Chains A and B, each alone.
Chain A
Amino acid sequence: MSDELVLEMRGIRKEFPGVVANDDVTFDVRRGEVHALLGENGAGKSTLMNILYGLYRPDAGEILLNGKRVVFSSASDAIDAGIGMVHQHFMLIPVMTVAENVVLGTEPVKDGVLLDEAAAEKRVADMAKTFNFAVEPGALVEDIGVGQQQRVEIMKALYRNADLLILDEPTAVLTPQEASDLFEILRTLRREGISIVFISHKLKEVLEIADRITVLRRGKTIETVPREGATEETLARAMVGREVLLRVEKKPAEVGDVLLEVEDLWASDDRGVQKVRGMSFQVRAGEIVGIAGVDGNGQTELIDALTGLRHADRGVVRVGGRELHHASPRHVLDAGLGHIPEDRQRFGLVLEFSLAENVALHDYSTPPDSKWGWLFPKRLVERARGLIQEFDVRGGGPLTPAGALSGGNQQKLVAAREISRDPKALIAAQPTRGLDVGAIEYLHRRLVSERDEGRAILLVSLELDEIFSLSDRILVIYEGQIVGEHTGDVSEEQIGFEMVGVQKKVPA
């Protein structure tokens, strides 16, 4: 590593409607270093890198590449300037070979017109050898593992002569073994003089691989430190910060019977990878149990398995004492489980339906909404009108299409529907994601008051603040398992450590 700067980003600012994603961010990369960009979800890491890669235009600030000021208007500008990006979602064509994917768009040619498959494979093989990639050039991408696919993405960038590589949370999709292989590759690349930006929120791996670490929090640069001297504790403090929490007024919980019970639950994602691995917990009447964790540790599969949208591999779910086995969503609903889904637009609402029709999404087939298959739209409208008033849904009446509402009001509508069904237990997944402060406050207060009504509430959230301000009990999920359970006072740092797989206790 030399001290020569290949990249400088100065005073970068990027605003999206309602949020400042980057606020006066400064960031630089030296030749041949691995520079980690560390921060929580939503800290502005991806925005910053998308600006660098030409996908967003900054509102203010400048980018210098090898000392020269550059303006990228598209990703191909960035590629031409020698920047390569490995997206979290790979840009690979599964039915083509590794070599074909690598050379696509810049293919070697023989006899004037023919694709030189052999030359392509040889160049890929050479590259694989140089950087120790262990990838078969002739293999189909769909047949190789995720770790190898990631290497193909890296090779795509190297093939186009990238000397600055951006890796967006590269380990999020990897097993620990694959991750350590990746680190080996990154060290090789560094030796060859390639600079790497490593985006992550995992402290351990950042300390393992990075030369320098820049911490972002809420769109601002907090600090840039060399790895030497940095510890998980100092980084976590910088990452989480000491912000004033938005505490919600609430009485101590008066818990009652167990209303939601999970015993040794296992569930897999769509690709058959086990994401929930033997979880057991209980939620009692009158308490809010928060599940804290980093994205992708099995939260989605847990919720899907609980609500019948996904069949569990094994395990037992009981709602109000009733055992549900391979239940359909309809059975789960009937057993008394309410569900505020994490993606309200995809699952929670039919955006083309009116508010009244959306309110009836679970109950359209039973009286009073309908009788013998005949729907009573007026009753739907009346019920919707009542709920709109009670839950303060603004921006439309019962006949307004749900898609016309703002996100906060859409979420209120979903909450109104789920709560009005008088469920025994309620799952709230990311209930305030992307909402404005007013809507967040309203939903938080509402969840607490539903708790006081004697419902069992399971809150799944990526926002630690939210988990802290609402939960009576906190479970920490890590790689599909509950790795920590806390009642009473626990420090946010402790939870933060457990979320990223650190077991060490810190003084509160």
Chain B
Amino acid sequence: MSDPEKNLIQPPEQAASTGTLAARLSLSQRAGGVVVPVLTVVLAFLIGGLVVLATGHNPLLAYRDIFNGAGLNWIFHPTTDTQGSVAAYNLTQTLLQSTTLIFTGLAVAFAFRCGMFNIGGEGQYIVGLVVANWIGVSFAGMSTLPHVLLAIVGATLAGAAWAGIAGVLKATTGAHEVISTIMLNWIAIYTAVWLFGDGGPLQGSQPTVPVSKDVASSAQLPVIWGTKGFQGLDIGFLLAIGALVVFWAVINRTTLGYEVRAVGFNPDAAAYGGINVKKNLIRAMAISGAFAGMGGAVDMLGYLYHYGSLDVQNSAAGGVGFIGIAVALLGRNTAVGVFLGSVLFGGLIYGTTQGLSSNVIQPELASNVTLIIQGLVVLFIGADILILYVWNSRKRLRRQPPTPPAPAKAAA
């Protein structure tokens, strides 16, 4: 009984047959499984390699050096002690980078699961950084555990509140979360610039240097691998792993996750089932921001200790919040996928910058290859149709004669 009056002026076409973004991602997940992400990465590396090749460098050697720069050769037990310790150090740095990306990746993934695109991981992460720095600096003299907890909880809540603004706006006024999170990003960025900047409330003791104070030693996270003075891998990495487990459990094992997924796949059916859709939009956005805010806290307390206005501005373009989008999309918004995606991108980022010691390709070039690969990954993963087409045509080529074309669908 479709009511004719309801659709008097027919709404413009819905995309394909599936409704929400989450529904579409799920569809391709079933259709493509792990094929799409893997093929996407392969394709992106291939094209990235072509760029490298076209400009006169050997892509295979370049990728090998990047692999080593990321410290991943540590896994294969390097032959000499020096190599071993360099590799180990590089690996800790890669994991440190991955830690951040796990958090920002989860931030994007959680919102996706509720059918929303949280493009504001960057801002939420910065809010986390700022609040963690403020608490870490302010309450010096507390004992370690409560101080660390206070800082992490404070930053997490701040990230949740920041993202929650976008959730509330969406639920109450229908403001699109993409626009509002972009705006919130820049508001957070400039607010942080001001806070750490010259004359700002969180500026350190040196006037004219727009950098914050260091967090008190009582708020610094213990290092689990490497040396503290040399930016060793801190316990934040374990917190990130914990966040992955929590993400998995909340999504798959709680009524909250059930509601989030139902709303993400089909808000109409969710409402019919008795789920409060608006409440879930707000809550999912807040949880999403909580992950990013916690990421900011872990970085601040784990190895950054202080932050400056320039750092904030430099991170604005392709910052960790944006890479989180690539991580989440590549990881299919699952805990395991986010982990693998963050190690991949963490390795790429570190392996093409400080870690890279190479005659084949200099770090300044290689780090841009990383950006290109990130871009290609996001581009291809968004166009799963293309990737599946490539995959299927490969199969078609192998088995002859070709399968008959699918029967033409009756026009609607």
Contact surface of A with B, Cβ cutoff 8 Å: 16-17, 50, 55-56, 87-92, 94, 141-142, 146, 149, 169, 172-173, 269-271, 273, 275, 295-296, 299-301, 307, 309, 328-330, 333, 339, 341-343, 346-353, 357, 360-362, 364-365, 370, 373-375, 377, 401, 429-430, 460, 462
Contacts and interface: CB of A to CB of B under 8 A. Distances in A.
A346 B410 contact: no
A330 B274 contact: yes
B15 to A, nearest CB: 15
Given A351-B23, A351-B266, 14 more contacts: A16-B410, A87-B10, A271-B5, A307-B272, A330-B275, A339-B272, A351-B265, A353-B261, A360-B258, A361-B273, A364-B259, A375-B254, A375-B255, A401-B30
A55 B7 CA distance: 20
Interface residues of B, number: 38
A329 B1 contact: no
Contact of B3 (A90, A301, A346, A462): A301
Contacts of B259: 364
A274 to B, nearest CB: 11
22 contacts: A55-B411, A56-B410, A88-B4, A89-B7, A89-B8, A89-B10, A173-B5, A295-B1, A339-B272, A342-B1, A350-B266, A350-B270, A351-B23, A351-B265, A352-B26, A352-B265, A353-B262, A370-B258, A375-B252, A377-B253, A430-B1, A462-B1
B2 interface: yes
Nearest to A55: B411
Given A328-B274, A346-B266, A352-B23, A364 B9 contact: no
A50 B256 CA distance: 46
Contact of A270 (B6, B10, B272, B273): B6
Contacts, number: 134
B187 interface: no
B159 interface: no
B271 A309 contact: yes
B254 to A, nearest CB: 5
B60 interface: no
B8, B254, B271, B410, most chain A CB atoms within 10 A: B8
Contacts of A94: 9
B273 A149 contact: no
A307 B273 CA distance: 10
A172 B2 CA distance: 12
A144 B362 CA distance: 66
A341 B272 contact: yes
A373 B255 contact: yes
Interface in B236-285: 252-259, 261-262, 265-266, 268-276
Contacts of A169: 4
Contacts of A333: 274
A169 B7 CA distance: 14
B256 A373 contact: yes
Contacts of B254: 370, 373-375
Given A16-B410, A360-B258, A374-B254, A329 B8 contact: no
B179 to A, nearest CB: 20
B8 A149 contact: yes
Given A16-B410, A269-B6, A374-B254, A346 B1 contact: no
B3 A350 contact: no
Interface centre among B2, B9, B257 (most CB of A within 10 A): B9
B220 to A, nearest CB: 34
Which secondary structure dominates where chain B touches chain A?
helix
Contacts of A270: 6
Given A89-B9, A353-B261, A377-B253, A361 B3 contact: no
B28 to A, nearest CB: 11
Contacts of B30: 401
A142 B9 CA distance: 9
Contacts of B23: 351-352
Interface in B1-27: 1-10, 22-23, 26-27
B10 A91 contact: yes
A300 B3 CA distance: 7
A348 B253 contact: no
A278 B387 CA distance: 55
B265 A173 contact: no
Given A89-B7, A91-B10, A330-B274, A375 B1 contact: no
Contacts of B26: 352
Contact of A295 (B4, B255, B262, B411): B4
A107 B105 CA distance: 50
A329 B265 contact: no
Closest 3 CB pairs of A and B: A89-B10, A330-B274, A361-B273
Nearest to A370: B255
A55 B412 CA distance: 8
Contacts of A307: 272
Given A89-B8, A149-B8, A430-B1, A365 B265 contact: no
B273 to A, nearest CB: 4
B3 A296 contact: yes
A365 B268 contact: no
Contact of B272 (A17, A172, A173, A347): A347
Contact of A173 (B8, B252, B262, B274): B8
Given A94-B9, A269-B5, A333-B274, A350 B269 contact: yes
A167 to B, nearest CB: 13
A29 B171 CA distance: 53
Contacts of A364: 255, 258-259
B276 A328 contact: yes
Given A91-B10, A149-B9, A269 B3 contact: yes
Contacts of A309: 271-272
A269 B5 CA distance: 8
Contacts of B2: 295, 300, 343
Contacts of B266: 346, 349-352
A324 to B, nearest CB: 13
B13 to A, nearest CB: 12
A172 B7 CA distance: 12
Contacts of B27: 352
B5 A375 contact: no
B8 A296 contact: no
Contacts of B275: 330
Contact of A275 (B3, B253, B256, B258): B3
Nearest to A433: B1
Given A169-B4, A352-B23, A375 B253 contact: yes
Contacts of A348: 269, 272
B201 to A, nearest CB: 39
Contacts of A55: 411
Which of A295, A299, A329 has the most CB atoms of chain B within a 10 A radius of its CB?
A329
A275 to B, nearest CB: 7
B382 to A, nearest CB: 19
- Which of A89, A271, A328: most chain B CB closer than 10 A? A89
A211 B9 CA distance: 30
A351 B265 CA distance: 8
Given A146-B8, A149-B9, A365 B255 contact: yes
Contact of B269 (A146, A269, A275, A349): A349
A227 B252 CA distance: 64
A81 B10 CA distance: 25
